Amino acid sequence: MNFKNNLEDYLKEIYNNIDAFGSANESMISKRLKVSMPTVSEYIDKLRNRGLVKSIGRDILLTDKGLKLAYPVIKRHRVAEVMALKIFEVPWEETDSEVMDLEHAINDKYVPYVIKNLGNPEKCPHGNPIDPNEKINDKSIFSVESGNYKISRITYEDISILKKLVEINALPGSEVRIEKNDTINIICHGYVSISPKEAMAIKVF
Ligand SMILES: [Zn+2]
């Protein structure tokens, strides 16, 4: 992995964690990027020294400078996901993990043309806006009460979460019922139980 890819993967990972859970932390980054904790710590120090991240206790946040650098990476990732789904016919639940290399290979100056030729998609296959600046008025399953909702997006696109949703065909736009007792259940075509953390990552409206 070269330095550019490394930096982009870190920025993306931190951004997605913040989007889903409010902040990132070293153990989650280590798990997702499959690198050791000391390596992550060392890299986060580098990012901090460059003024791209700030830490509050164990919570890692992006600075304005870090966010500015993360936006084009996130955008390219989401475009690459649409490409994976439409052009390569990668299964929906695998698009996030399958595009890790592809997303680094698209030069930013060509991104607008890729978007145009993909039919101007506004969202990634998981419902996240291609333009990361676009704000969506939705709530996490964790924060809503039992009731009927529509899936808006999956902010933390982990394959285990995506697999659960695809199992009951609960994709962005699908009408679902959320039932919360001792467990959190999503009912669509069948039902799945999800963890509180997974509930934070799935947004509904
Ligand atoms: Zn996505």
Predicted confidence at residue 98, as pLDDT, reads 81
Q: Biggest alpha carbon distance in the chain? A: 50
CATH 3.40.50.720 fits 3-62, yes or no: no
- The CATH number that domain 75-133 falls under is 1.10.10.10
Domain segments of the chain as ranges:
3-62, 75-133, 139-204
Alpha carbon distances (Å) from 151 to 36, 143, 202 = 34, 14, 8
The type of residue at 181 is N
Contact in structure between 30 and 37 (CB atoms under 8 Å)? yes
Predicted confidence at residue 157, as pLDDT, reads 87
| Chain-centre distance for alpha carbon 97 | 11
CA of 203 to the centre of ligand 1 (A): 13
Alpha carbon distances (Å) from 162 to 40, 73, 85, 153 = 25, 21, 14, 11
Domain 3-62 matches domain 75-133 at the CATH topology level: yes
Contact in structure between 200 and 21 (CB atoms under 8 Å)? yes
CA of 51 to the centre of ligand 1 (A): 27
- The residues of the chain scoring below 50 in pLDDT are 1
CA of 146 to the centre of ligand 1 (A): 26
Contact in structure between 22 and 57 (CB atoms under 8 Å)? no
Predicted confidence at residue 2, as pLDDT, reads 57
CA of 80 to the centre of ligand 1 (A): 9
Residues having C-beta closer than 5 Å to ion ligand 1? 81, 124, 126, 157
d(CA 67, CA 137): 20
Please name which of 183, 198, 185, 121 lies closest in space to residue 149, comparing C-alpha atoms. Answer: 185
CA of 179 to the centre of ligand 1 (A): 25
CA of 95 to the centre of ligand 1 (A): 7
Architecture of domain 139-204: Roll (2.30)
Share of the chain above pLDDT 90, in %: 86
